Amino acid sequence: TGRRQLGFVTGEAGIGKTTLVDAAIRDLHRSGTTDPHRSGTTKIRVARGQCIEQYGGGEPYKPVLEALGSLCRGADGPATLATLQRRAPRWVLDVLAPRESTESTDGNLAAGAGPAAGAEHTLHMLADSLTALAADTVLVLLCEDVHWIDLSTLDLLSSLAQSREPARLLVLCTMRAADAIAHRHPLVAMKRELVRKGQGREMA
């Protein structure tokens, strides 16, 4: 219906978080989603990214780049890439499809040198890119093991959750809450605030 959702599936290691999420996604693929404004069902696109434990600052936007890369390699790859060429920062195109991004366009001149160049503008452009990808087709963005999430991706998830712009976007995050708490990760405070404001949900 265009109402974006962000959910955290939390639990200890090995308890079945990924198994549960995979089963839910398979069910979505089988049934599609019902749109009250259209007849029939709508297909689903799934983009999956993995957070890994990093030492030091961590690679900015790693799980998001992995997720976008999976979309670019999928059946809707050309359409995904066309949307990113209009919306995403130039450096994202260089990472995902370097041969496709030989020329900048007006929409992606900023942040061309990398994620550190114009951090706020990069954040805005990535959020806008994901919103555009979820404009007509339901997009499920799955970020696994977000207890290891880098701070740039954390800011992006917060921005996606709090935006009032309609998007057919479901962001699912799996996490070991105990690990995030033990490392005093800012994810803990962000999740708590989003849940408190009704902009996110937690399934423990």
Distance CA 153, CA 204 (A): 22
Write out pLDDT tens, residues 156-181. Answer: 999 999 999 999 999 999 999 999 99
Write out pLDDT tens, residues 92-125. Answer: 999 987 665 545 444 444 445 566 557 888 999 9
pLDDT at position 59 is 84
Instruction: Report residue 29 CA to chain centroid gap.
Output: 18
Q: Could you give the 3-state DSSP secondary structure of residue 66?
A: helix
pLDDT band at 87 (very low <50, low <70, confident <90, very high): very high
For 27, counting Cβ atoms within 10 Å of its Cβ (0-12 exposed, 13-18 middle, 19+ buried), the class is exposed
| 105 DSSP assignment | -
pTM: 0.85
Q: Say if strands 169-175 and 5-10 run parallel, antiparallel, or are unpaired.
A: parallel
CB count in 10 Å sphere of residue 81? 20
Q: Say if strands 33-34 and 201-203 run parallel, antiparallel, or are unpaired.
A: unpaired
